Amino acid sequence: MQVFDIDRALELYNKGLSLGKVGEHFGVSQQTIKRRLQLMGITIRKQSGNQSGENNPAWKGGTSRAHINRTTKRVCIENGVPLNQCQNCGKVFPHNLNRHHKDEDRSNNKIENIEVLCVKCHNSGWFGAKHNRIRNALGRFE
Ligand SMILES: [Zn+2]
């Protein structure tokens, strides 16, 4: 790891290294490099193919957790689904509950695919059964 030097960073970046790789070189985040270069008036390249999507180390199934949270929240609100009531047991909680994607595809944010579930129901056999998973004698999924 080298001491961060913006001129050196720019040099590496101009050689074709990705922001992530330049960051790695100095032990700082890709965002830091991006910000520093932009401050210098450098135009940031579009991420090359092998750094996007599934190849990116930050890939989380299409979208970030915070983004998923915001999206599912908005979908529930738009469809009049209470965020604090479990759709399985019907219990109302003083806080917002987990939104669960029925098909486990976090990019499928149709209301039909989102269930608001309390922790108990989310972790319960009911949830497991829905996914055709069978618990063995030890209570573990087969
Ligand atoms: Zn519940």
pLDDT tens per residue, the chain (142 residues)?
567 888 999 999 999 999 999 999 999 999 999 999 999 898 888 765 555 555 565 555 556 778 888 999 999 999 999 999 999 999 999 999 989 888 888 889 999 999 999 988 888 755 544 555 556 667 666 5
Give the distance (Å) from ligand 1 centre to CA of residue 90.
Answer: 6
Confidence (pLDDT) at 65: 79
Give the distance (Å) from ligand 1 centre to CA of residue 74.
Answer: 21
Residue 34 and residue 70 in one domain? no
Residue 30 and residue 70 in one domain? no
Q: How far apart are the first and last CA of the chain?
A: 45
Does some domain include residue 112?
yes
Confidence (pLDDT) at 13: 92
Residue 34 and residue 71 in one domain? no
Does some domain include residue 50?
no
Residue 27 and residue 76 in one domain? no
Confidence (pLDDT) at 142: 56
Give the distance (Å) from ligand 1 centre to CA of residue 37.
Answer: 49
pTM over 0.85: no
Does some domain include residue 135?
no
Does some domain include residue 12?
yes
Confidence (pLDDT) at 93: 95
Q: Which residues surround ligand 1, an ion (CB under 5 A)?
A: 86, 88-89, 118, 121
A 10 A CB-CB count for 52 gives 12
Residue 121 and residue 71 in one domain? yes
Confidence (pLDDT) at 68: 85
Secondary structure class of 141 (helix, strand, coil): strand
Confidence (pLDDT) at 133: 56
Give the distance (Å) from ligand 1 centre to CA of residue 117.
Answer: 5
| 106: containing domain | 65-126
Does some domain include residue 57?
no
Give the distance (Å) from ligand 1 centre to CA of residue 124.
Answer: 9
* Positions of E strands within the chain: 98-101, 114-117
Confidence (pLDDT) at 63: 60
Give the distance (Å) from ligand 1 centre to CA of residue 43.
Answer: 50
Does some domain include residue 138?
no
Residue 24 and residue 72 in one domain? no
How many folded domains does the chain comprise? 2
Does some domain include residue 139?
no
Does some domain include residue 13?
yes
Give the distance (Å) from ligand 1 centre to CA of residue 97.
Answer: 9
